[in-house]
Amino acid sequence: MVGVGTDMLRDGDPLIKVENLVVEFRAPGGGRLQAVSDTSFDVMEGETLGIVGESGCGKSTTAKAVIQMPRPTSGSVLYRDNELTQLDKESLRRIRTDLQMIFQDPISALNPRRSIWDIISEGVVIWGTQDVWGDAEINELIESVGIDAQYKNRKPFQFSGGQCQRISIARALALDPRVLICDEPVSALDVSVQAQILNLLDDLKTEHDLTMLFISHDLAVVRNVSDRVMVMYLGRVAEVGDADSLFENAAHPYTQALLAAVPGSNIDADASLSGELPSPLDPPSGCRFNTRCPHVTDECISTIPEFRQHGLDHWVACHHPQSAPVSLD
């Protein structure tokens, strides 16, 4: 299979380096579904990579594949110097403590039968780190995410959605992770609460020196939190790079369509899409966006576009980028 290339991977020593990631599932009713096809990206320490795209683009699957849940079908996931895809079950279990996750549905992410104290200190109990995380420290952790510690024995159903998300964050932080993977962390929350959680994540990132993978379908949220952004469509990366560069000089027609679709945006309707999302079971040949792209040509149907540089840190996989590349001096 012709690949899209890995030119967009940077030199230096990324904390996470994913190369040629492929995640396949057995589709109900037979056949194989490739949720993620040949995706590569890297994340430097201290960075926030925003992964954005619509339903079926594979962003969530990609994030989960980084922590090997489940193990990808092929490809490499390098964390520090560890090839995660090759680790045995026990080593993986150990190293996963560095890579924690928070989920989209704050309520389903907490065990309804356990107190929030139990939930938050679960990691400490599993790994026996009570010498570092004693009662006082866990209390402080609970307060640091904005929950009054006197309620530590209450069960999750007594808290609101936003509060539950805070509890999830505390649970993740009790392991002193290096990386926090946020899978649509504010999508299920009320609008007036979203900003609270985003600010909280921002503060905690600084205080705990975290590197973040932030998955969302909401462009404005991704814009707010990300240093770099990766746009996915139907299992492939369409465009990736520095957030400012990508949003201000979007090259891929799909990125432009996403930007145009943000309510209240003033990008013209020319970028709006026709047709429907193709079935991931039978994706289009060549560039997967060709069935809906207003600028499609024969080349788009026959050849998978490789990544080409569009700016200092800006890469696009498209035969006909829709904006002018920035000169690279």
Partner 1 sequence: MANASPVTTDPGAAHVVEGPADVKPPPSVARRLGIGFWLSIGWLLIVIVLALIAPLITLEPGEARADPDRSVFSLAHPDDTAVGGRLEAPSSELWFGADNTGRDVLSLTIWGSRISLLVGFLAIVIGFLVGGSLGIAAGYFRGLFDKVVSFVFTTLLSFPALILAILITTLLGRTVFWISVSLGVLAIAPVGRLARAQTLVYAERDFVTAARILGAKDSRIVLKELLPNVVIPMSALALLGMGIAIVAEGTLAFLGISAADGLSWGKQIFESGSNARTLQDGPHAALFPIGVVFLTVLALNFAGDRLREVFDAKELAF
Partner 2 sequence: MSKLLELEQLAVTFNTPRGPVYAVSDVTLDVSKGEAVGIVGESGSGKSVTVKSLMGLLPRTATVTGGARYEGDDIFDLAKERKKHFYGVDIAMVFQNPMTSLNPVKRIGPQLTEGMRYHRGVSKNAATARALELLNLVRIPDPAKRLKQYPHELSGGMRQRVVIAMALANNPALLIADEPTTALDVTVQRDILDLLDKLRLELDMALILITHDLGVVKDRTDKIAVMYGGRLMERAPTEAVFSDASHPYTQALQRSIPNMSMPRGTRLDPIPGSPPDLAVVPASCPFAPRCTYATEQCSNSIPELEQTPTPVDHSYACFHPLGSAATQTVGGV
86 binds partner 2 (CB under 8 A): no
Residue with tokens 């080593």: 91
Distance of CA 208 to the CA centre of its chain: 19
272 binds partner 2 (CB under 8 A): yes
193 binds, among partner 2, partner 1, none (CB under 5 to 8 A by kind): partner 2
Q: Give the residues lining the site for partner 1 (CB under 8 A).
A: 67, 69, 93-94, 96-101, 103-105, 107-114, 119, 122-123, 126-127, 129, 132-133, 136-137, 140-141, 143-148, 150-151, 154, 156-160, 163, 168, 171, 175-176, 178, 195-196, 199-200, 203-204, 207-209
Q: Tell which positions 1-40 bind partner 2, by CB under 8 A.
A: none
243 binds partner 2 (CB under 8 A): yes
Q: Who contacts 230 (Cβ-Cβ below 8 Å, separation ≥6)?
A: 41, 49, 50, 51, 52, 237, 239, 240
Which structure tokens are listed for 172? 């993740």
112 binds, among partner 2, partner 1, none (CB under 5 to 8 A by kind): partner 1
185 binds partner 2 (CB under 8 A): no
| Neighbouring C-beta atoms of residue 107, cutoff 10 Å | 16
227 binds, among partner 1, partner 2, none (CB under 5 to 8 A by kind): partner 2
25 binds, among partner 2, partner 1, none (CB under 5 to 8 A by kind): none
The distance of closest approach from Cβ of residue 142 to partner 1 in the complex, given in angstroms and rounded to an integer, is 9
| Neighbouring C-beta atoms of residue 328, cutoff 10 Å | 9
55 binds partner 2 (CB under 8 A): yes
260 binds partner 2 (CB under 8 A): yes
Which structure tokens are listed for 258? 């996403």
Question: DSSP letter at 81?
Answer: T
49 binds, among partner 2, partner 1, none (CB under 5 to 8 A by kind): none
Alpha carbon separation from 292 to 43, 83, 165, 189, 300 (Å, rounded):
30, 37, 36, 31, 11
Query: Closest Cα partner for 135 from 118, 157, 110, 148?
Result: 118
Strand 16-26 and strand 74-79: pairing?
A: antiparallel
